[in-house]
Structure 1
Amino acid sequence: MSGLPQKWAIAGDGTSLAYRDSGGDGVPVVFTNGYATSTYYWDGLVEALGDRVRAITWDLRGHGRSQAARDPQSLTVGGCADDLRRVMDAAGVERAVLVAFSFGCQIVLEAWRLMPERVMGLVPILGPFERPFDTLISPKVGPSLFEVFRRVRPEWAGVMLKAGAWSGRMPGVHGAAQLTGVVGRGVRAEAMRPFYETLGGIDAASWHALGVAAQEHSARDLLETIDVPTLVIAGGRDVFSPGELGREMAALIPGARLMWLDEATHTGLLGHPEPIAAAVRTYLREIAPAHRAGTSQPETEVAPA
C-alpha cells in the first residue's frame, strides 16, 4: 500500500494520524499495528487479499508517519481505540472488519467496547487481550521487565529505541534472534529491516506511554460479549504473546475460530504469510457474509493451509 496517497485523521489530542485507504468495493478491513511497528507488517497480507477487501492501514500516535502524541497521557488503550474510530470516520467507513497484530489486538478489542455497532468482525493475530508483560518470555521475567520499563524516563526510552535500531545492523543479531525464538526461522534478515528502521523513528514519550497503558489494560470482561465473527490466530513458538493466550481468547469468545500455527513466533506474519492469508480469505468469504445475514458460527479450529 506504499504507493497509495497518504491521508490524515485527527486524534482527540489534536495529533495527526496517518492512514492509507485502498478504496474499492471489497469488504472494509482496518489493519491495526502492533507496538513499535508500522504498516509494513501488513504489506504481504494486504497484497494476498487483493481486491476482495478495501484495506485501510494506519499508524499509532508516535509511530510510522503519524505525529508524536501531543498528550502522551491520553495514549491509553481506549484512546487508541478512539484513534481507530477517527480513522474510520475520516475514511468514511461505517462498519469494518478489524484485523490486528500484537498490541493492536488489545486496541481492536477495546474498539468493541467503544463502538460495537461499527465492528463487522475481529481477527486478532499473535496478540494478547490483557497485561502483555505478565506473559512476556515467562511469568517471572515479564513482570520484572515491566517494573524496569515503567521507571524509565522518556529520554532513556529514546536511547533504548535508538539502541534497538542500531542493533539491527550488527552482524549476527538476526541469527541470534532466530536461535532465541524472537524471530522465526523462516524470516529473512531483509524482512526485518523495516522493523529496525521503524524503531529509530518512534517518539519515545508516545512509546513509553503506550507500553504502560498496555500493561494496565484488560479486555477479559469483553470477550464473552463479542457476537461478531472472530478468527483468532496464535503461534506455538511466540515468546511475546504466547499461543495459549490466543487459545484462551478463542475459547472465551462465543463462536470464535482458532487458527493454531505450531512453528509461528511473534514474527508469524512474516514467516507464515501463506497460511495466514488463506485463513483470512476463508474468514472473509464465509464468516463476514454469514454475519451480515445474521447467522451464527460454531466454534471451529482452523487447520493451517
Structure 2
Amino acid sequence: MTEPHSRWTARSDGAALAVYEYGNPDADTTVLLVHGYPNNHTMFDAMIDAIGDRARVISYDTRGGGHTVVEHPEKSSSFAIERLADDTYAVIDSIPDLRGPIHAFAHDWGSVQMWEPLRDPRATDVFGSFTSVSGPSIDHLRETSRRRGLRPTQWPSVLGQLGRSWYIWGFHIPVVGKYVPDLFVKAGPADPAPAADPIDLQRGVELYRANIIRRMLSGPPPRCEVPTLVVVPLKDRFLSADLVEDVDRWIPDLTVLEVDAKHWWPWTHASDAADVLLDHAQRV
C-alpha cells in the first residue's frame, strides 16, 4: 500500500483539515479524491496505488472523517454543505506549487458535497473535470422529486428511492438514530465495503442531519459548468440508476458511464476507477 509522501493541515472555517499527497509531484495532472460516509481518505488506498506515478494525487479527510478536527462538532451547522464547499477550496489553496487545473473524483457523500463548490463561479477556473460516483446533488434530487411528484407514473420511482434511503431518515430520529450507523453496515453483507472506523460512523451522521432535509426543502438550482462524468453502479443498493435522468438539464458537458458494480465501485474496482478518472481528465 502506498504511503503519502507528504501531509499537512489546511485551515478552513471551523475545521483543521488533514491533507495527504501521493503519486508523482511533477506530473502534469493533479487529481483530488474526496471520500464519502462512513469512510476517510484511506478509502482510496487501492485506487492511489493504481494511479501510481501517472498523476499527482491529493486526498483529505472531510469533516466527520479521519484526522480532520472540527472545532464545534456538537453543532450541526459545523457540517453544513456550504462549509464543506469552503473546505474544498481551502484544501486546493493549500496545495504547494499547484500547476494547472484540478481533476476531482468523489464518491458517495464526497460527491454529494462536491456539487456545492462546483456551483461556485470559481469552479471553471479551478477544476478541469469532475468524476462523480454514487453521490447525486441534493438540489438535483429536490428538483427531480418535485417533477416526479406531479406525475403519478413516476411515483414508484420516488417511493423506491425513499426506501433505499432508509438510513438517512433513520439518522434524524431521536434515540433510534444512534443505532442506525451499525445497521447501515450490517445491512449489506453482500456489498463489499472498506472497514469503517466506529468513530467515523458516528461523527459522519451530522453530514446528513445538517443538510438533507434543509436542502430538500429549499435551495439554489443545481449548476455545474465543469466537464463532468457521472459513474452509475447499476447494483448500487443506496441509489436508483434513474437518478441520473435530467442531469443534463444543468450540466452542459456531461458523460454518463454505467458500470456493473455495487456502491463501493472505487474500492472494489480500484484499477478501473483510476483509469476512468485519468481518461476523463485527458479527454477534457
The question of a shared fold, defined as TM-score above 0.5 by the shorter chain, is answered with: yes
Q: 1:68 to 1:228 in 2, by over 3 A?
A: closer
Where does residue 41 of structure 2 map in the other structure?
A: 39
**1:88-131 Cα distance to aligned partner (Å, 9 max, x none):** 11114474112110111122211112332322211111221117
Where does residue 13 of structure 2 map in the other structure?
A: 12
Contact 1:6 1:18 (C-alpha < 8 Å) held by counterparts: yes
**1:187-244 Cα distance to aligned partner (Å, 9 max, x none):** 4xxxx4x423x2x12273x423211234133688233xx3332111111111212222
Q: How many Å separate the matches in 2 of 1:78 and 1:142?
A: 26
Contact 1:39 1:59 (C-alpha < 8 Å) held by counterparts: yes
Q: 1:140 to 1:8 in 2, by over 3 A?
A: closer
Say which structure, 1 or 2, has more relative contact order (CA 8 Å, 6+ apart): 2
Q: Which amino acid aligns with 1:228?
A: V
1:272 to 259, 269, 274: 269
Equivalence map 1:162-173=2 (5 Å): 163=182
Q: How many Å separate the matches in 2 of 1:147 and 1:43?
A: 30
Where does residue 52 of structure 1 map in the other structure?
A: 54
> How many residues align structurally?
258
3-state DSSP class of the match of 2:51? helix
3-state DSSP class of the match of 1:253? coil
Where does residue 24 of structure 1 map in the other structure?
A: 26
Q: 1:201 to 1:4 in 2, by over 3 A?
A: farther
Where does residue 122 of structure 1 map in the other structure?
A: 130
Q: Which amino acid aligns with 2:69?
A: Q
1:67 to 52, 66, 69: 69
Contact 2:4 2:20 (C-alpha < 8 Å) held by counterparts: no
1:238 to 229, 236, 243: 236
Q: 1:146 to 1:158 in 2, by over 3 A?
A: closer
**Structure 1 unmatched runs, 5+:** 288-305
1:88 to 87, 92, 98: 92
Q: 1:106 to 1:148 in 2, by over 3 A?
A: closer
**Is residue 2:81 matched to residue 1:77?**
yes
Q: TM-score, normalised by structure 1?
A: 0.72
Equivalence map 1:216-227=2 (5 Å): 216-217=214-215, 221-223=221-223, 226-227=224-225
1:260 to 258, 261, 268: 258
